[in-house]
């Protein structure tokens, strides 16, 4: 019932949007106030319908109405309220809804603050994008032509041919299939909403640019559009940062950035948006670059839609970690993309001749030239990334069935572009605030260059940088930090409100340095032996059984319980056991790994986690997921996750056993029980848990010479305690070990001692004087003794903190600029 | 024509062709064991050869299994990491690496997993490193 209401509301929302579109069009065309007001009312009605529909969806999720496919597919009974709420946008349909919601709320801001003549056309284009997005949610079926996928469709509608529905059409599952375990993270609460705020805000510069082209007023739109563009930029940057941080600290992607198409989907619009900000600022200052401002504003949104198309149409299916499942929206998404692009670029080229051009060309050493060049570099970088991301389509120019490009493609192109950008940021910032000719600029730059060179040389020596290319790159990065920092300090003294730009450029330089340090100098933490092995592999000296060169480095570390090993020559690492905890996630193990710095620093613990993925595990097949632990430091992070453990193996074996017993109950246990014989090493005082028992070697004991064979050279007894905790019994045994000689030959005499009540037999079989340990051989134990171990993968990642610091500087810098430009805008509004 | 314009066009054409050339080099095509030959970074889709089992060895710290490629050929695959999550469930694998003799050394592995109830669903690929089946 509620589902039908939801569908009706979405359809009503779609219909009112279409109507609003018509009224906005008339208003924009004739500059009518009355039709604009009707449009606004329709817009408000549309938003209300959508809000109520979203409320219903959230209600259905919280009421566990599993007859609805969306509820069934993304939630389950055991989800806590916060994850129930985030399931609202956990799937493709809900995420579209959230996107439109944000876009609609922004619409009211635009109604309030936008001045004529832009108001009506801006709202027209905003509504146009919403019409397309809403159409993805319709779930209409017009003569077999499917339009959209409704979040309110029932299981029966989703899977009409499912066998359990054939037998019982009113079937309602008892429980849902649940939210993907990887998404059950506090980051899921915040990352997607911020991202969609960013996407929704990126629509606004597009709307303003289109309005400017429509109304043929090419300069005035900059002032209102600039703060919106800056805000979109901050929102996207925050989303990118949150996503990267999430990937890094909890998802064990191994780093904060992987050039994954979905990551690129938010980076490219950000780059183009940033390019737009550059040209808008320079257009406002010097009345140049009208064409590029409009073009970038259009392109930023075109790329939002293009990347949406790539990630949601199923095209990327095979190349992305987290692209969405195809919902059959391919054609609609394609239409959305084509309309946004063709209308945008079409109108741009229609008006192209009319657009103002600069009267004379700007000289190279001018802020106009530098700023526009910076924007162009951002555009080029964006286009390179787009090219890589588009490999499933554009790769077909080269080969059939193309794979995604190698990561090196992105790195090889983005590094030099970023280096040129770094130099340009400094030149641009100097020229932005003052006019220079070549000579005066050079003399001004002497001091920053000296500082940069010193810092670079120190960094090269300290970080042992051997790669010439990296040296140049570091120089560029430091130049951006120092040069822009110079300006920043000057501005703080003179005009502290205008430091936004300088601050972002310092942040950019820090990003460059941090990214290189953390990715190129990422080193696995392994023990001495593995390090030697890896060194040999690098030299090409290791061959495998078939005589082929081994190229894969070993990056895992095996730790036995309470056995300390030296790692990387710097840490004594001990595995101190695990704890089972069911409060956060059922069956979660937290491993306790102690790091003691050799140089006498403070010891610390790393606590990586492993948990079974409940949504995809069964009793016979457990799927485990890992949650790494990151120790954040100023200079470097230690990043560590569990690759395996004795506990996990035991559980897997048990599950596998359960699987096989379930499959062949008939031929169980046909293997004859064989008497098991096991040997253990003990040092005095040590105890071991074996199956149901604890065995403790208390100490050595003297022995009577009468019990020994003749000619004995060594004769000693061990005091051994056998503890059976279940029955609370302790049996003390004193097995004998003796070495005697007969006919010039030495023999070992170790008669068995019996623990009759448990059917066990103990022999004292060896003494290892170097380790001060003895060997006991036990016969009759049912369970094999397995030492507890954990396999970890640990990396040291230097200067990740600098990456985050650079990102924060960018955010703060952009935010300062928002306040500045918004403040001016508000004054204009109140006039 | 203005010399600046010519320089500009040459620069753009040069940049674009270099970019496209490099792009073409850095992508490869999904292939088979037979055709992978000497290629250093071959992407091979296929399915797990269940009869021949799969095993992670603690000694060599490698995961070994057999995969049947699209030509129907079954070859041994060595993967230097723990057994990835969803391995048994995957209805398609993509191994990335190189052939050495009769054995394929994968440096990366992608898995395509079916969604639970709907077999027509194309499902999603997950990268092996995202979560580990231990």
CB atoms B134 and A398 under 8 Å: no
A window 499-558, beta carbon within 8 A of B: 544, 546, 548, 551-552, 554, 556, 558
Q: Tell me how far apart the alpha carbons of residues A303 and A272 are, in angstroms, rounded to a whole number.
A: 8
pLDDT digits 0-9 by tens, A496-548: 888 999 999 999 999 999 999 888 888 888 888 888 888 888 887 777 666 66
Q: Tell me how far apart the alpha carbons of residues A420 and A429 are, in angstroms, rounded to a whole number.
A: 14
Where is pLDDT greater, at A461 or A670?
A461
Burial (Cβ within 10 Å: 0-12, 13-18, ≥19) of residue A12:
middle
In the structure encoding, which two tokens stand for residue A829, read together?
């509004």
* A261 closest CA partner among A407, A87, A133: A407
CA distance to A461, A534, B130, per residue, from A554 (Å): 28, 6, 19
pLDDT at B114: 45
Q: What residues are paired with A779 via a beta bridge?
A: A677, A761
Q: Tell me how far apart the alpha carbons of residues A754 and A808 are, in angstroms, rounded to a whole number.
A: 70
CA distance to A202, A289, A459, per residue, from A219 (Å): 19, 10, 46
SS3 assignment, position B39: coil
pLDDT at A8: 94
pLDDT at A198: 94
Kindly report which listed range (A22-26, A285-289, A779-783, B30-34) carries the lowest average pLDDT score: A779-783
Superfamily of domain B31-130: Nucleic acid-binding proteins (2.40.50.140)
ipTM: 0.76
The CA-based angle A390-A394-A395, given to 5 degrees, is 100
pLDDT digits 0-9 by tens, A603-620: 999 999 888 877 666 666
In the structure encoding, which two tokens stand for residue A419, read together?
């280096």
pLDDT at A782: 67
Per-residue DSSP letter, A526: -
Closest to A624 (Cβ–Cβ): which among B15, B58, B132? B132
* B23 closest CA partner among A111, A321, A320, A406: A406
pLDDT at A616: 65
Q: Tell me how far apart the alpha carbons of residues A285 and A677 are, in angstroms, rounded to a whole number.
A: 87
pTM: 0.82
CB atoms B85 and A642 under 8 Å: no
Q: Which residues of A42-68 are buried (b: 16+ CB within 10 A; e: fewer)?
A: bbbbbbebbebbbebbeebbbebbbeb
**pLDDT value at A461 more than 50:** yes
Taking 50 as the pLDDT cut, the residues of chain B under it are 114-134
Q: How far apart are the first and last CA of chain B?
A: 67
Closest to A318 (Cβ–Cβ): which among B19, B26, B94? B94
pLDDT at A185: 77
The phi, psi pair for A385, rounded to 5°, reads -65, -40
In A234-278, beta strands by DSSP E:
none
Q: Domain locations in chain B?
A: 1-28, 31-130
String of DSSP letters for A351-372:
SGGGS---SSPPPTTSHHHHHH
Sign of CA dihedral B22, B26, B27, B29: positive
Closest to A400 (Cβ–Cβ): which among B29, B41, B121? B29
From chain A, the residues in CB contact with B48 under 8 A are none
pLDDT at A324: 54
Residue range A699-709: mean pLDDT, rounded: 77
CB atoms A253 and B123 under 8 Å: no
Cα within 13 Å of Cα(A188), Cβ side: 21
CB atoms A643 and B81 under 8 Å: yes
The pLDDT-based confidence of A812 (bands split at 50, 70, 90) is very high
Q: Tell me how far apart the alpha carbons of residues A553 and A572 are, in angstroms, rounded to a whole number.
A: 22
CB atoms B29 and A626 under 8 Å: no
Per-residue DSSP letter, B51: G
String of DSSP letters for A167-196:
H-TT---SS-----GGG-SHHHHHHHHHHH
Please tell me whether the peptide bond between A480 and the residue prior to it is cis, using omega within 30 degrees of 0. no
pLDDT at A16: 96
pLDDT digits 0-9 by tens, A351-396: 988 888 877 777 888 888 899 999 999 999 999 999 998 888 888 8
From chain B, the residues in CB contact with A412 under 8 A are 22
pLDDT at A665: 45
Residues in contact with B14: Cβ distance below 8 Å, sequence separation at least 6, in sequence order: none
Q: Tell me how far apart the alpha carbons of residues A313 and A1 are, in angstroms, rounded to a whole number.
A: 30
The whole-chain average pLDDT of chain A stands at 85
From chain A, the residues in CB contact with B122 under 8 A are 314, 317, 325-326
The rounded Cα A818 to chain-centroid distance in angstroms is 28
The pLDDT-based confidence of A341 (bands split at 50, 70, 90) is very high
From chain A, the residues in CB contact with B88 under 8 A are 621
The pLDDT-based confidence of A254 (bands split at 50, 70, 90) is low
CB atoms A254 and B89 under 8 Å: no
User: Least CA distance to A399: which residue of chain B?
Assistant: B29
pLDDT at B132: 32
What percent of chain A has pLDDT above 90?
Answer: 38
Q: Does A404 touch chain B (CB under 8 A)?
A: yes
The pLDDT-based confidence of A671 (bands split at 50, 70, 90) is very low
**pLDDT value at A346 more than 90:** yes
pLDDT at A325: 56
Residue range A276-305: mean pLDDT, rounded: 92
pLDDT digits 0-9 by tens, A59-87: 999 999 888 988 988 888 888 888 889 88
CA distance to A65, A86, A180, A625, B70, per residue, from A184 (Å): 20, 9, 7, 12, 36
Q: Tell me how far apart the alpha carbons of residues A273 and A208 are, in angstroms, rounded to a whole number.
A: 13
Residue linked to tokens 């920043």: A488
CB atoms A645 and B134 under 8 Å: yes
Q: Does A780 touch chain B (CB under 8 A)?
A: no
pLDDT digits 0-9 by tens, A708-765: 777 777 788 888 888 877 677 788 888 888 888 877 788 888 888 888 777 788 888 8
How, if at all, do strands B92-100 and B103-113 pair?
Answer: antiparallel
pLDDT at A139: 85
């Amino acid at each position: 019932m509620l589902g039908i209401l939801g569908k009706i509301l979405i359809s009503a929302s779609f219909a009112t949007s279409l109507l609003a579109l018509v009224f906005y069009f008339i208003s924009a065309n004739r500059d009518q106030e009355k039709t604009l007001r009707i449009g606004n009312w329709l817009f408000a009605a549309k938003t209300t319908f959508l809000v109520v529909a979203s409320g219903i969806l959230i209600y259905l999720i919280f009421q566990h109405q599993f007859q609805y496919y969306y509820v069934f597919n993304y939630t389950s009974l055991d989800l806590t309220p916060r994850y129930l709420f985030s399931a609202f946008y956990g799937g493709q349909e809900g995420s579209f809804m959230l996107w439109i919601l944000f876009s609609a709320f922004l619409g009211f801001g635009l109604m309030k603050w936008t001045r004529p003549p832009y108001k009506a056309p801006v709202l027209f284009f905003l509504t146009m994008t919403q019409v397309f997005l809403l159409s993805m949610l319709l779930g209409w079926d017009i003569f077999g032509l499917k339009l959209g996928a409704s979040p309110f469709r029932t299981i029966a509608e989703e899977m009409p041919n499912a066998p359990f529905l054939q037998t019982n059409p009113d079937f309602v599952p008892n429980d849902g299939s649940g939210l993907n375990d990887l998404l059950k993270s506090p980051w899921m609460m915040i990352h997607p909403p911020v991202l969609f705020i960013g996407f929704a805000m990126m629509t606004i510069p597009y709307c303003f640019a289109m309005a400017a082209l429509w109304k043929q007023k090419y300069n005035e739109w900059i002032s209102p559009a600039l703060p919106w563009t800056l805000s979109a930029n901050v929102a996207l940057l925050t989303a990118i940062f949150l996503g990267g941080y999430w990937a890094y600290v909890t998802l064990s992607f191994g780093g904060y950035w992987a050039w994954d198409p979905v990551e690129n989907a938010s980076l490219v619009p950000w780059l183009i948006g940033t390019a737009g900000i550059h040209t808008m600022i320079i257009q406002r200052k010097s009345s140049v670059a009208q064409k590029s401002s409009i073009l970038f504003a259009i392109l930023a949104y075109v790329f939002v839609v293009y990347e949406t198309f790539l990630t949601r149409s199923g095209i990327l299916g095979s190349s992305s970690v987290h692209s969405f499942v195809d919902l059959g929206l391919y054609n609609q998404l394609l239409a959305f993309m084509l309309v946004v692009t063709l209308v945008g670029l079409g109108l741009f080229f229609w008006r192209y001749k009319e657009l103002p051009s600069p009267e004379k060309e700007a000289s190279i050493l001018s802020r106009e030239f530098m700023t526009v060049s910076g924007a162009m570099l951002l555009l080029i970088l964006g286009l390179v990334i787009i090219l890589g991301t588009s490999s499933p389509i554009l790769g077909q120019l080269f080969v059939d069935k193309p794979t995604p490009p190698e990561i090196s493609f992105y790195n090889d192109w983005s590094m030099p572009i970023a280096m040129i950008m770094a130099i340009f940021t400094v030149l641009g910032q100097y020229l932005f605030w003052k006019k220079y000719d070549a000579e005066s600029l050079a003399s001004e730059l002497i001091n920053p260059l000296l500082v940069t060179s010193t810092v670079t040389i120190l960094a090269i020596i300290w970080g042992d940088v051997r790669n010439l290319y990296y040296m140049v790159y570091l120089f560029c990065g430091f130049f951006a930090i120092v040069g822009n920092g110079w300006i920043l300090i000057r501005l703080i003294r003179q005009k502290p409100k205008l430091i936004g730009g300088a601050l972002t450029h310092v942040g950019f330089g820090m990003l460059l340095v941090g990214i290189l340090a953390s990715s190129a100098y990422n080193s696995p933490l392994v023990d001495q032996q593995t390090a030697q092995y890896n060194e040999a592999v690098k030299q090409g000296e290791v061959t495998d059984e078939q005589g082929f060169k081994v190229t894969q480095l070993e990056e895992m570390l095996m730790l036995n319980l309470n056995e300390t090993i030296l790692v990387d020559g710097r840490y004594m690492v001990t595995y101190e056991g695990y704890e089972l905890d069911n409060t956060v996630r059922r069956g979660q193990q937290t491993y306790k790994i102690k790091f003691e710095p050799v140089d006498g620093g403070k010891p610390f613990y790393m606590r990586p986690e492993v948990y079974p993925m409940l949504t995809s595990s069964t009793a016979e097949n457990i799927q485990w997921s890992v949650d790494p632990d990151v120790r954040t430091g100023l200079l470097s992070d230690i990043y560590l996750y569990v690759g395996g453990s004795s506990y996990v193996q035991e559980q897997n074996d048990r599950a596998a056993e359960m699987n096989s017993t379930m499959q062949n109950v008939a031929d169980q246990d046909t293997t004859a029980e064989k008497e098991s014989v096991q040997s253990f090493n003990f040092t005095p005082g040590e105890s071991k848990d074996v199956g149901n028992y604890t065995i403790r070697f208390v100490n050595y004991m003297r022995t009577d010479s009468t019990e020994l064979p003749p000619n004995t050279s060594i004769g000693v007894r061990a005091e051994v305690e056998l503890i059976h905790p279940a029955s609370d019994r302790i049996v003390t045994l004193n097995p004998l070990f003796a070495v005697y000689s007969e006919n010039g030959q030495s023999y070992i005499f170790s008669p068995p001692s019996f623990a009759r009540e448990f059917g066990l037999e103990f022999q004292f079989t060896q003494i290892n004087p170097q380790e001060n340990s003895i060997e006991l051989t036990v016969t009759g134990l049912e369970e094999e003794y397995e030492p507890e171990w954990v396999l970890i993968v640990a990396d040291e990642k230097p200067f990740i903190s600098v990456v985050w610091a650079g990102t924060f500087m960018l955010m703060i810098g952009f935010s300062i600029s928002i306040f500045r430009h918004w403040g001016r805008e508000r004054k204009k509004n109140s006039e | 024509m203005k010399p600046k314009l010519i320089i500009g066009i040459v620069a753009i054409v040069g940049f674009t062709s270099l970019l496209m050339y490099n792009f073409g080099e850095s992508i490869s095509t999904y292939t088979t064991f037979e055709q992978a030959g000497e290629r250093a970074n071959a992407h091979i889709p296929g399915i797990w050869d269940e009869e021949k089992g799969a095993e992670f060895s603690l000694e060599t710290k490698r995961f070994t299994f057999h995969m049947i490629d699209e030509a129907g050929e079954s070859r041994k695959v060595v993967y230097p990491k723990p057994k990835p999550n969803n391995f048994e469930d995957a209805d398609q694998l993509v191994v990335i690496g190189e052939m050495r003799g009769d054995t394929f050394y994968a440096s990366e592995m992608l898995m395509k997993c079916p969604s639970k109830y709907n077999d027509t669903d194309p499902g999603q690929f997950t990268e092996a490193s995202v979560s580990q089946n231990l």
